[in-house]
Structure 1
Amino acid sequence: MTSRSPAKASRKTRGASVPARLYGIDAARGLALLGMMATHLLPTFESNADLTPTWIGLTFSGRAAALFAVLAGVGLALSTGKHQPLDGSGLSAARRGIALRALVIAAVGLTLGGVEVNLAIILVHYAVLFLCVLPFLGLRLKHLCAWAAGWILASPVLAYLLRPWLLAAEPPLSLGHNPKWEDLGTPGRLLADLFFTGYYPVFQWLSYLLVGLVVGRLMLHKALVPVVLLVLGSAVAVAAKALGVTAMESWGGRAALEQVLNSPGYPLDSVLQVNLTGIPQEGSWWWLASAAPHSGTTLDLLHTSAVAVAVIGACLLLGRLAEWVDLDLLLPLRGPGAMTLTLYTVHVWVVSGFYLKPLPAGWTEDGMYFAHAAVAIIVGVVFAVLKWRGPLEWLGHTASQAGRGELKALR
């Protein structure tokens, strides 16, 4: 959900190569958008007694949203100095700009929170993550790596200890719905939900932005960096998921959790594969050994972060291939990927129109998804070809420029 600026594939200035806008990043963001649409519109479980996971649930659940968050960190790194982070007044101006852009995203999210829709809307959490990552923007790569590793290891444990205490309050410090403007009247409950008890717990999800900052501080235009991202990300993702499955199935984790779980409508074997949100993760330390999507554990954060890193590496390599063959192979993805805030908002609004209503005659869930995806791709391509910003991207960019004190440049 970053602003766009037209750029050629590459150019020479005074004999030095100037890296192009990394269209692979926009393409990865487009994939994340399409993946989140899939989890919104297509079933993640079969309609049967044991809730058998579908391939949509197994493929996209937890991963698409995490890719969004990691890419947010990448985008922030690229806009604040790339591999040489800003400092001094430049960094302060960048932080002000990011903070104002976050307020725009939060306002959109709070407005969407007022519509009736059976979706977990990420925008307010996304905005809060932008604010939370501001102190880390001036750090060098080595320090960012340490913070990212430490946050992935420690934040799930602290959240596990705090969450039961927050939910035991009267009333429980959990919204049970998407954040909306009215919730500003109960700030304690809103903050507890955003950081610990809601669908996208910011406290753990800050890990994704820190990983994204690490990726964005690398020299992404170097030939081997995307290869390293793809190979290393794939290896870590497989290892984290394998360790989580082993802990649950071979070391007795699932058997131990079934003894403390009191959710008969949600078979543990299925939800561990697709989505652990809504399951009370308390009563056993074994919850922290799972790699289940949306569990917020160390293995979940590690696996989904690594998948995101691998996807980014793959998209950057495709961008290199597109330059080599002189064909814009990424346009169908990078187009919508450069205006995800607008397209995501419209997508949620359209889905809300069918809340608790049957689909139009002749429509199926598959058809509805492909319609949303096709419109997003077509609109994104048109805006990319015309070199336009999306409406909400323009608003966020303007707020960012205002924070940086650069509004005159827009006139």
Structure 2
Amino acid sequence: MSMHVQTKSRRLTGLDATRALAILGMFAAHIFDLFALDNSGILSPTFTGATANGRASVLFMVLAGVSLTLFARSLQRKGLSRKASVGVLVRRALVIAVLGLLIGPVNESIANILVHYGLLFLLLIPALYLPARALWVLSVFWLVIAPLAWRPLAAAEAAQSLGHNPTFTDFAHPGLLLADLLVTGYYPLLIWIGFGLLGVAVGKLPLSQKKTVAWMGAGAVVIAALSLLIGWLKILPWITAVGTVAGIPRSQIFTAMVTGRSPSGNLDRFLSESSYIWLPTAHSGSMIFTIHAAACALALLAILLLVTPHLGYAGALLAAAGRAPLTLYIGHLVLLPLLQVGLSAWVQWWTLCVLMLLAALILHHSGKAGPLEAGVRYLSVLPTDEKNSDPK
């Protein structure tokens, strides 16, 4: 969902296409049920609940790091000093966070990611100036260790949650707001910073080189598969305990362990158990799912980087949609409450897809940025930046 500035010749269409796919994943996770009764009356995860849920948002955060790195590089190419570049990045991060605070109350049925996204941009700025090798070590360390540190904090501070999307009135309770943003909210930054760090590390790779991207994708696929397998193998002996502690009937446990919830509730009460770290569960914040979701994001990015240039006009449209992520994301937040009045989930889905296609057609043929992307660019890149550029 980044709004980085690059010329057409330097844009990675695969990156834009991956961002568009993440948007579609968000659409699905916000429209379709995560679980349903099958023909035999057994509760099972839906396709959305088993795939997009918990992974689309992680993909957004990883892409945030990648795009931030590329944007910072574009500022350097324009001749801006480090001080001027940091100023642009800080303003951009704050504009996105403020936009998130404004739009949050519009649709409380969806956990708005924009405030966390803007804050992530802000927190990642120092990482841009670290060596690539140090970044890889730091990101892997963070993705493994942060969930272990988060779990006891989340269990102890479970009641310290806003219960709604962050907005300006929450500054009246700064401690509660901070706890929600870092630990107890839907996107706890204590963990999610790791996804951004991984993205910054990936952004330093030569992503235009097919061999590098192929190796990254192959490694990511292996890690994604192994982590999910290990998670299930490690948690199987605890299935009865999970149900007992979380208060979920055995018939619903599998669904709850895949999607993070069931008709009887979620797995939050299991946080106090050490085996929580092995839950292969979306949005759980467990160590194993954090690693798995990060690997899924890299695998999907690698696939799209390799495939999109060969998709012709379809690939160009997908990439064009990915250049207006902020517009599409906020647009669907505003439209969904209206579409959900009397319309089926599939009608909502196809309506958003058609609107996304129309936006892609306009952006592709006009060569312009989305309206909100242009607005963020205007507010963050000020004329004074050029005066602070390095002398030529």
Q: TM-score, normalised by structure 1?
A: 0.86
| One-letter amino acid of the structure 1 residue matched with residue 245 of structure 2 | V
Q: Deviation of residue 138 (structure 1)?
A: 0.4
Indicate the larger mover: 390-399 or 54-63.
390-399
Residue 350 of structure 2 aligns with which residue?
370
Rounded Cα–Cα distance in structure 1 between residues aligned with 2:344 and 2:81: 51
Structure 2: distance between partners of 1:265 and 1:37:
30
1:298 alignment counterpart: 287
Map Cα deviations across residues 318-377 of structure 1 (whole Å, 9 max, x no partner): 23435xxxx34412211121111011101101113356xx42xxx421121011012112
Which among 44, 62, 83 is matched to residue 52 of structure 1?
44
RMSD value, Cα = 2.6
Please give the alpha-carbon distance, in whole angstroms, between the structure 1 residues aligned to 2:80 and 2:309.
35
Matched, 1:35 2:25: yes
Aligned to 1:310: 299
SS class of match (2:36) = coil
Q: Does 1:400 align with 2:371?
A: no
Q: 1:174 aligns with which of 147, 150, 161?
A: 161
**How far did 1:404 drift?**
7.4
Distance change (3 Å), C-alpha of 1:261 and 1:275: closer
**1:130 to 2:142 alignment:** no
Compute the displacement of 1:316 (Å). 0.9
Q: Could you tell me how far apart the structure 2 residues matched to 1:339 and 1:278 are?
A: 34
1:3 aligns with 2:12: no
Give the AA of the match of 1:2: S
Q: Secondary structure at the match of 2:296?
A: helix
> After the TM superposition, which of the residue ranges 279-288 and 44-53 deviates more from structure 2?
44-53
Residue 64 (str. 1) matches residue 64 (str. 2)? no
Deviation readout 1:18-58 (Å, 9 max, x if unpaired): xx310110000000001100111111111577642111111
- How much does 1:166 deviate? 2.0
1:383 to 344, 363, 370: 363
Once the two structures are superposed, what CA deviation does each residue of 1:120-144 show, in whole Å capped at 9, x if it has no partner?
Answer: 1111111111112122110111000
Q: CA deviation at 1:243?
A: 0.7
Which residues of 2 match residues 241-390 of structure 1 at below 5 A? 241-249=228-236, 252-263=237-248, 267-275=252-260, 278-280=266-268, 281-322=270-311, 327-353=312-338, 358-359=341-342, 363-390=343-370
2:96 and 2:153 map into 1 onto residues whose CA distance is 28
Evaluate the alpha carbon distance shift between residue 406 and residue 392 of structure 1 in structure 2; reply closer, same or farther with a 3 A threshold: farther
- What letter is aligned with 2:47? W
Report SS of the residue matched to 1:260. Answer: helix
CA 217–258 in structure 1, closer or farther in 2 if over 3 Å, else same: same
Q: CA deviation at 1:403?
A: 9.1
State the match for 1:157 in structure 2: 148
Question: Is the Cα–Cα contact under 8 Å of residues 32 and 345 in structure 2 kept in the other structure?
Answer: yes
**Contact kept in structure 2, 1:347 and 1:372, CA below 8 Å:** yes
CA contact (8 A) 2:309 2:315 kept: no
More displaced 10-residue stretch of structure 1: 287-296 or 43-52 = 43-52
CA 1:406–1:275 in 2, change beyond 3 Å: closer, same or farther?
Answer: farther
Q: Does the residue aligned with 2:110 lie in a helix, a strand or coil?
A: coil
Does the CA contact (< 8 Å) of 1:122 and 1:200 recur in 2?
Answer: yes
1:146–1:202 CA distance, 2 compared to 1 (3 A)? same
Once the two structures are superposed, the pairs formed by residues 188-207 of structure 1 within 5 Å of their partners are: 188-207=175-194
For 1:235, give the aligned amino acid. Answer: V
For the residues of structure 2 that align with 1:365 and 1:45, how far apart are their CA atoms? 14
TM-superposed deviation, 1:4: 5.7
Output the CA distance in 2 between the equivalents of 1:261 and 1:191: 26
**Distance in 1 separating the partners of 2:180 and 2:334:** 23
| Range with bigger deviation, 137-146 or 272-281 | 272-281
User: Residue type of the partner of 1:394?
Assistant: A
Q: Could you tell me whether the CA contact under 8 Å between 2:120 and 2:193 is conserved in 1?
A: yes
* Deviation of the 1:175 alpha carbon: 0.5
Decide which moves more: 257-266 or 208-217: 257-266
One-letter amino acid of the structure 2 residue matched with residue 181 of structure 1? F
Mapping 1:77-226, distance limit 5 Å: 77-81=69-73, 90-167=81-158, 172-226=159-213
Q: Report the CA distance between 1:263 and its aligned residue.
A: 4.8
CA contact (8 A) 1:253 1:289 kept: no
Specify the code of the residue in structure 1 equivalent to 2:319: R
Name structure 1 gaps, 5 residues minimum: 10-19
**Partners of 1:336 and 1:380 within 8 A in 2:** yes
**Structure 2 CA distance for partners of 1:5 and 1:405, relative to 1, 3 Å:** closer
Distance 1:73 1:304 in 2: 15
Change (3 A) 1:364 1:145: same
CA shift in 2, pair 1:89/1:184, >3 Å? same
| CA distance in 2 between partners of 1:395 and 1:265 (Å) | 50
What's the counterpart of residue 16 of structure 1?
none
The answer (yes or no) to whether the contact 2:80–2:386 under 8 Å persists in 1 is no
Letter in 2 for 1:231: A
Q: Distance in 2 between matches of 1:52 and 1:69?
A: 28
CA distance in 2, matches of 1:197, 1:403: 40
CA positional deviation for 1:306: 0.8
| Corresponding residue SS for 1:52 | strand
CA distance in 2, matches of 1:296, 1:185: 28
Query: How many Å apart are 1:8 and its aligned residue?
Result: 4.3
Change (3 A) 1:379 1:274: same
Instruction: Please report how far the alpha carbon of residue 89 of structure 1 lies from its aligned counterpart in structure 2 after TM superposition.
Output: 7.4
| Contact 1:26/1:335, CA 8 A, preserved across alignment | yes
Following the alignment from structure 2 to structure 1, what is the Cα–Cα distance between the partners of residues 221 and 199? 16
**Cα offset, 1:384, TM superposition:** 2.6
1:246-268: CA deviations, max 9, x gaps? 1122xx13233233223569933
